[in-house]
Chain A
Amino acid sequence: MANSDALDAAFADGPAYVPYLVVGDPDYESSKAYVEALDRGGADVIELGLPFSEPIAEGSTIQEALVRSLDAGMTPDRFFAFAEELEVDAALVCMTYYNLIYQYGKGEGPRPFVERAAAAGIQGLVVPDLPAEEADPLREACDEFGLDLVFIVAPTTRGDRLDRMMANVSGYVYVQARLGTTGARDDVSDQTTASLDRLSGYDVPKAVGFGISTGDHAERIVAGGADGIIVGSALVDVVAEGVAADLSTAEVADRLEALSRELKGGAERGHRSRTGTVESA
């Protein structure tokens, strides 16, 4: 059961498509058009990246996007304003690093950040460098303001660590498809299946991320048992190509919407093959 009804709803009806983009990449206004394109493309949840200067969990694609956003002047306050201005149906989750959450409190811990996030319409947080052992203050603030705290489960997470994490998680669990950092890859790892098997006893939606870039990937992942797919680097790549080729904001937004439809469509095909639903003629 999630703290946020919006996140509950996102996973209630078929597989969830969970795209990620860095807010403010390459600039504030374009970024808003891009996020709204994801929504039109069928996003159920959108992970909004708030850039930190030392993103140790990210691969080069996302790291460069974070640098573009920071160079264009992104700050936590502008991020919250951005979230407030968005016109989207999808639930919003903020993905960032703990130092930004902590500093926002000016000595009062993570509570002020969570309070502000809730006011901006954010329904959940993903914090890649915050282990379950250190998460109590953030967990309490999230419970107070009705946000979900999403944890990342790695292929190597098992035993006590997994139990502790699953006791703290809500909304959905982010299943990391393979070791390493974020980045689009051609293969979809066997580690995913093993991870989903390990998590099968826990009653929380499982969204798989890391390396998904095509509708075929999405189909296989969902057919393999995932409740949702998280796609970051493949979408950030589209933004980066737009910057490199100097494409118009509308052109990049169209490409993001088209890729979103492909990914969402793949996820739905995977869901049908898993549940044995036959398409009516």
Chain B
Amino acid sequence: MSETDTRTTEETETARRPGRERGREDGKFGRYGGQYVPEALMPAIEELTDAYERYVLDNEDGFMDEFRERLADFGGRPTPLQRADRLSERYDTEVYLKREDLLHGGAHKLNNALGQVLLAKYMGKERIIAETGAGQHGTATAMAAAHLDMPCTIYMGERDINRQRPNVFRMKLNGSEVKPVTTGRGTLKEAISETMRDWAETVEDTHYVIGSIVGPHPFPVMVRDFQAVISEEAREQAREKTGGLPTDVVACAGGGSNTMGTFAHFVDDEDVALHAVEAGGSTLEVDEEAGVAPNSASLFAGEEGVLHGARTKLLQDSDGQIMESHSVSSGLDYAGVGPELAYLVDEGRVDPVAVDDDAALEGFHRLSNTEGIIPALETAHAFGYLEEHHEDLGERVVVNVSGRGDKDLDAAIEETDQRDVANAPDMSMFTGGM
């Protein structure tokens, strides 16, 4: 018996998969990442780094075992990898759907929220705070906090509160307090800034559950590790169902948590192409004067800078002021992106692509009426990409269905009504046409 044979499969796997663990040591992804935070937050960041290494990486006190058990029992994992028969036929390629829309709460967000709230509990924290944009991360955090009996405060921009009332109710139903953020323009980036301010005053007993692979180290690696369960399952499921790895993996990208979760276990599989689909909004042009980028394509169109604790790619003006981003899907509406994705794009490992609002809406309707799955508008961008670029893809494609679209029905009907979407049903009797 050779020496390598005595190692467990898991050890062998880890040893040859360095990409899967990128950034764990110092929070750096090439030139990106880091810890650009006010000094008052540094002790909290150091305490969190220590807890991440002990509980998440070393499974101290059986943390990861409990996390996985709760993901199964409370969350409903594993989620299926399903063959999409009609899309496969349409594109003449094998299309598989990773069904994160079937996770409890209807989106991948719970993987991270449950992991972080549980970690806060292991750390002895007594209170949870989180920011939310469209409300998906807020609702997932509120669910996890209720499940684990932790008091929770969610910061949400006033404008987003008005756009996303059902999600506000969901958070309140789960017992969370929702605090409106009125400063600035009242959207996600202001909510993140406001949550960081709360944390700066309350670090001793409070944990900040950040919603994506953004922010200072250790958040980008920690959130990736919690979300990596998506690709861990998908990689195994693909091998079982198809006898091999996919040729392409596709995920939508806002801040990047579902993206990195879907890519993490494939990063070292060099033959698997990784496509990050960003919101192209109405146009990729920016309006410097107004400080508005009518898209959220920071990987595709952004430039290097420092925001919310990390060096990454940003939508900013020539002075370095952060732009107001825009997308038909509020969940992708963020001017930055996780530093690890910025790095993987520069390295040529991840292919960044932008899909505009129109194509995303077509994707929304196509998945709904061909496969019986109503996707989130975020997710719909991935299907817009599939329609536009299926000829460039290989013979076996995995697409992450990051969330279900129930939350987006009002927005989808309204946006469809404003356009001529070829494959949309006639909804005029429900909108202006009555």
Residues of A whose CB lies within 8 Å of any CB of B are 52-60, 63-64, 67, 70, 75-76, 97-100, 102-104, 128-131, 133-134, 151-157, 161, 165, 176, 179-181
Contact B319 A75 (CB under 8 A): yes
Tell me if B68 is interfacial: C-beta within 8 Å of chain A. no
Contact B305 A179 (CB under 8 A): no
Task: Give the segment of B80-88, B109-117, B192-200, B424-432 that binds chain A.
Answer: B192-200
Task: Give the segment of B32-40, B136-144, B154-162, B245-253 that binds chain A.
Answer: B32-40
Contact A176 B320 (CB under 8 A): no
Residue among A52, A56, A97, A99 having the largest count of chain B Cβ atoms under 10 Å: A56
Contact A179 B184 (CB under 8 A): no
Tell me if B353 is interfacial: C-beta within 8 Å of chain A. no
Cβ-neighbour of A179 out of B34, B200, B319 (below 8 A): B200
Cβ-neighbour of B316 out of A64, A99, A151 (below 8 A): A99
Contact B201 A179 (CB under 8 A): yes
Contact A56 B42 (CB under 8 A): no
Given A102-B306, A103-B316; A67-B183 close (CB under 8 Å) = yes
Contact A181 B34 (CB under 8 A): no
Q: Hey, which chain A residues are within 8 Å of B306, CB to CB? A: 97-99, 102, 129
* Other contacts beyond A104-B319, A152-B38, A181-B200: 16, CB < 8 A: A53-B322, A55-B193, A57-B38, A57-B40, A75-B319, A131-B36, A134-B35, A154-B40, A155-B40, A157-B39, A165-B39, A176-B39, A179-B200, A179-B203, A181-B197, A181-B201
Given A67-B183, A131-B37; A99-B43 close (CB under 8 Å) = no
C-alpha gap A70/B34 in the complex (Å): 27
Contact B319 A67 (CB under 8 A): no
Give 4 closest A-B pairs by Cβ, nearest first. Answer: A103-B320, A180-B201, A57-B38, A154-B40
Which partner residue on chain B sits nearest A77 by CB separation? B319
Q: Hey, which chain A residues are within 8 Å of B145, CB to CB? A: none
Which partner residue on chain A sits nearest B37 by CB separation? A129
Given A64-B183, A70-B321; A156-B197 close (CB under 8 Å) = no
Q: How many A-B residue pairs have CB under 8 A?
A: 110
CB distance from B296 to the nearest CB of A (A): 16
Tell me if B318 is interfacial: C-beta within 8 Å of chain A. yes
Residue among A54, A102, A152, A161 having the largest count of chain B Cβ atoms under 10 Å: A54
Q: Hey, which chain A residues are within 8 Å of B322, CB to CB? A: 53-54, 99
Q: Hey, which chain B residues are within 8 Å of A70, CB to CB? A: 321
Tell me if B308 is interfacial: C-beta within 8 Å of chain A. yes
CB distance from B283 to the nearest CB of A (A): 21
CB distance from B206 to the nearest CB of A (A): 11
Contact A131 B39 (CB under 8 A): yes
C-alpha gap A157/B305 in the complex (Å): 26
C-alpha gap A152/B42 in the complex (Å): 12
Q: Hey, which chain B residues are within 8 Å of A58, CB to CB? A: 197
Q: Hey, which chain B residues are within 8 Å of A64, CB to CB? A: 183
Q: Hey, which chain A residues are within 8 Å of B40, CB to CB? A: 57, 152, 154-156, 176, 179-180
Question: Could you list 23 A-B pairs, sorted by A, with CB under 8 Å?
Answer: A52-B320, A53-B291, A53-B321, A54-B189, A54-B307, A54-B308, A56-B193, A59-B197, A102-B320, A103-B319, A131-B35, A131-B36, A131-B39, A133-B34, A134-B34, A153-B39, A154-B38, A154-B40, A156-B42, A156-B203, A161-B42, A180-B40, A181-B38
Render B279-292 as a binary contact track against A, CB cut-off 8 A, 1 for contact. 00000000000010
Contact A52 B321 (CB under 8 A): yes
Interface residues on chain B, number (Cβ under 8 Å) = 32
Q: Hey, which chain A residues are within 8 Å of B46, CB to CB? A: 161
C-alpha gap A99/B315 in the complex (Å): 12
CB distance from B155 to the nearest CB of A (A): 13
Residue among B46, B196, B320 having the largest count of chain A Cβ atoms under 10 Å: B320
CB distance from B39 to the nearest CB of A (A): 4
C-alpha gap A97/B307 in the complex (Å): 9
C-alpha gap A133/B307 in the complex (Å): 17
Given A54-B193, A98-B306; A157-B320 close (CB under 8 Å) = no
Q: Hey, which chain A residues are within 8 Å of B291, CB to CB? A: 53
Contact B320 A131 (CB under 8 A): no
Which partner residue on chain B sits nearest A132 by CB separation? B39
C-alpha gap A63/B291 in the complex (Å): 18
C-alpha gap A67/B182 in the complex (Å): 12
C-alpha gap A55/B197 in the complex (Å): 10
CB distance from A71 to the nearest CB of B (A): 10
Q: Hey, which chain A residues are within 8 Å of B320, CB to CB? A: 52, 76, 99-100, 102-104
Q: Hey, which chain B residues are within 8 Å of A157, CB to CB? A: 39, 42-43
CB distance from A142 to the nearest CB of B (A): 18
Which partner residue on chain B sits nearest A162 by CB separation? B39
Render B186-228 as a binary contact track against A, CB cut-off 8 A, 1 for contact. 0001000100110011010000000000000000000000000
C-alpha gap A51/B46 in the complex (Å): 28
C-alpha gap A223/B36 in the complex (Å): 34
C-alpha gap A59/B198 in the complex (Å): 10
Contact B319 A100 (CB under 8 A): yes
Which partner residue on chain B sits nearest A67 by CB separation? B184
C-alpha gap A99/B304 in the complex (Å): 9
Q: Hey, which chain A residues are within 8 Å of B308, CB to CB? A: 54, 56
